[in-house]
Copies of this chain bind each other. A is one copy, B any other.
Amino acid sequence: MEQLFVIKIGGNIIDEDAKLESFLREFASLKGKKILVHGGGKLATKLADQLGYPQKLIGGRRITDSDTLRIVTMVYAGYVNKNIVAKLQAKGCNSIGISGADGNALEAHKRIHSEIDYGFVGDIDQVNTSFLKGLLDQQIAIVLAPITHDGNGQLLNTNADTVAQEIAKALSKTYEVRLIYSFEKSGVLLNVNDEQSVIRQINPSSFGKLKQEQAIFAGMLPKLENAFTALNNGVKKVIIGRAEELQKLIDGTAGTTIVNE
């Protein structure tokens, strides 16, 4: 099977021009088929502040009311998405920026929760793999903003990590998929304050031990649980590490590689 890279970049990379530039240079020079999933949460928060819209949080979770939905649609699918595409074009990487509504790429439903109304948040039902494959087959890199739709005209806000995972899983029937979560850290760290303490490889048995010893920063656990879910659903490899070391992450000379054996 042909290889496909599904790469998610974290918010801190998007905010800083130099880091984004450096990441996009590595992404542009990456050979083969590739999909970039981005968020832009900090820029969205900044715009909401500028407009004087208070952030609504329930139980620590951000609620997407209609104002917030408008803002994330503008920032993610507009500003961030189009600037990334223009920068990739400048680097000779032909790319197309889409949301989940475009080509019906990601169909979702508004989250139903017995206690919390998350607002316009979408849980993904279906990935239109043939549409994505059609673009990839034209040697176009896909830049995906985490805005989905419900098929009835409603846009929905969806977590970018989840978008990357669902796409990686769905496309693993067609491609040998490497799913890369890239952000500002060197990988999964044994000591959250020591960038040298990267755990180079994690498999189900070592993950069990690390959890037992409470050796991993709690915030990283859901990412790892998600990584194993992806591996159990056909994804070949999951890699976590620094966005600016993309090629090294892929070569296996940096970051944390999560495998299923």
Interface residues of A (CB under 8 A from B): 50-51, 70, 73-79, 81-83, 85-87, 89-90, 94-99, 101-104, 131, 134, 138, 140, 147, 149, 151-155
Contact = CB atoms under 8 A, between A and B. Distances in A.
A103 B152 contact: no
Contacts of A82: 73, 77-78, 99, 101-102, 147, 155
Contact of A149 (B86, B101, B151, B152): B86
A116 to B, nearest CB: 24
A156 B147 CA distance: 24
A87 B151 CA distance: 8
A87 B85 CA distance: 24
A149 B74 contact: no
Given A51-B51, A78-B74, A103 B153 contact: no
Tally of this chain's copies: 2
A85 B99 contact: yes
Contacts of A77: 77-78, 81-82
Contacts of A95: 102-103
A92 B153 CA distance: 10
Residue of A73, A87, A99, A102 with most partner-chain B CB within 10 A = A102
